[in-house]
């Protein structure tokens, strides 16, 4: 019940603002016949360069066999030029900002994470900082072009409509599907990992492709 309520709220919000967003334009959701899976014209396309400097709202559901089922709505700032991803969230009156610094990673792929939290009365809680396993990849413009990327069809995604899906083995280990519109903007991604039977589904909405200063 909570889920459907939040989805309705999100839809209502998106509809009022979508029209004014140049990057939500129809052209960015029109694909050539060669990309239609069962068309006689079909030919596997070359992977595109993607647009990686953006800010977006997103809806994410992560679950695993440890009993976790987290559904969140947050705001994402992506800046590969600064090697940074910043995720902001408000919940129960509190505000949190989480920074992932991809210029400081370990050999096994953990990322430097700084989490700042303000309680509802405005007090700042002790800052958390450590290496963590990030759910929020740093999208690089040539990430799909680097090789081995498989076109996995045109799909309809919640909140954004038709997009192309591209599948890669992220860091050689994690099956990742990235959803990209016809203008090269990333509009979501899914991945799974067998170790904890983890699944993560992420839908972007209200995406603006623009350099962000973090």
Ligand X SMILES: *[C@@H]1O[C@H](CO)[C@@H](O)[C@H](O)[C@H]1NC(C)=O
Of 27 and 40, CB closest to ligand X: 27
Region of 147 please: left (phi>0), alpha (psi -120 to 50) or beta. Answer: left
Per-residue x/- mask for ligand X, residues 8 to 47, rule CB under 6 A? --------------xx----x-------------------
**Nearest distance, CB of residue 167 and ligand X, angstroms:** 21
Residue closer to ligand X (CB basis): 129 or 146: 129
Piece of 9-17, 74-82, 172-180, 182-190 that binds ligand X (CB under 6 A): 182-190
Residue 185 touches ligand X, criterion: CB under 6 A: yes
Q: What residues numbered 69-108 form the site for ligand X, per CB under 6 A? A: 104
Least Cα distance to 148 among 166, 121, 160 occurs for 166
Report how many residues bind ligand X under the rule CB under 6 A.
13
Cα–Cα dist 33/137, whole Å: 31
DSSP-derived secondary structure for 1-28: -HHHHHHHHHHHHHHHHHTT-GGG-GGG
Residue 201, CA atoms < 13 Å, CB-side half-sphere:
8
Does residue 209 interact with ligand X by CB under 6 A? yes
Regarding 162 and contact with ligand X (CB under 6 A), the answer is no
Q: Which stretch binds ligand X (CB under 6 A): 7-15, 135-143, 151-159, 178-186?
A: 178-186
Q: Is residue 130 within the footprint of ligand X (CB under 6 A)?
A: yes
Buried b (16+ CB within 10 A) or exposed e, 20-49: eeebbeeebbeeeeebeeeeeeeeeeebbe
Q: Which of 51, 55, 74, 157 binds ligand X (CB under 6 A)?
A: 51
**206 is an interface residue for ligand X by CB under 6 A:** no
Query: Measuring CA to CA, which residue among 24, 25, 22, 47 is closest to residue 35?
Result: 47
Could you say which DSSP state residue 81 is in? G
Token representation of residue 153: 């069809």
Footprint of ligand X (CB under 6 A)? 22-23, 28, 51, 104, 112, 129-131, 183-185, 209
């Amino acid at each position: 019940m909570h889920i459907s309520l939040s989805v309705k709220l999100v839809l209502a919000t998106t509809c009022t603002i979508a029209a004014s967003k140049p990057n939500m334009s129809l052209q960015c959701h029109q694909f050539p016949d060669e990309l239609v899976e069962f068309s006689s014209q079909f030919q596997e396309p070359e992977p595109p360069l993607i647009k990686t400097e953006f800010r977006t709202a997103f809806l994410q559901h992560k679950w695993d066999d440890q009993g976790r089922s987290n559904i969140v709505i947050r705001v994402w700032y992506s800046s590969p030029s600064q090697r940074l991803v910043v995720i902001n969230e408000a919940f129960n009156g509190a505000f949190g900002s989480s920074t992932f610094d991809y210029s400081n990673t370990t050999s096994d792929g953990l990322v430097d994470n700084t989490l700042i939290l303000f309680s509802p009365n405005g007090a700042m809680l002790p800052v958390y900082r450590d290496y963590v396993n990030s759910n929020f990849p740093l999208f690089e413009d040539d990430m799909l072009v680097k090789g081995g990327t498989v076109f996995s069809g045109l799909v309809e995604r919640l909140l954004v409509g038709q997009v192309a899906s591209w599948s890669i083995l992220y860091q050689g280990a994690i099956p990742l599907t990235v959803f990209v519109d016809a203008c090269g903007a990333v509009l979501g991604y899914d991945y799974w990992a067998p170790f904890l039977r983890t699944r993560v589904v992420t839908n972007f909405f209200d995406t603006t492709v623009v350099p962000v200063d973090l």
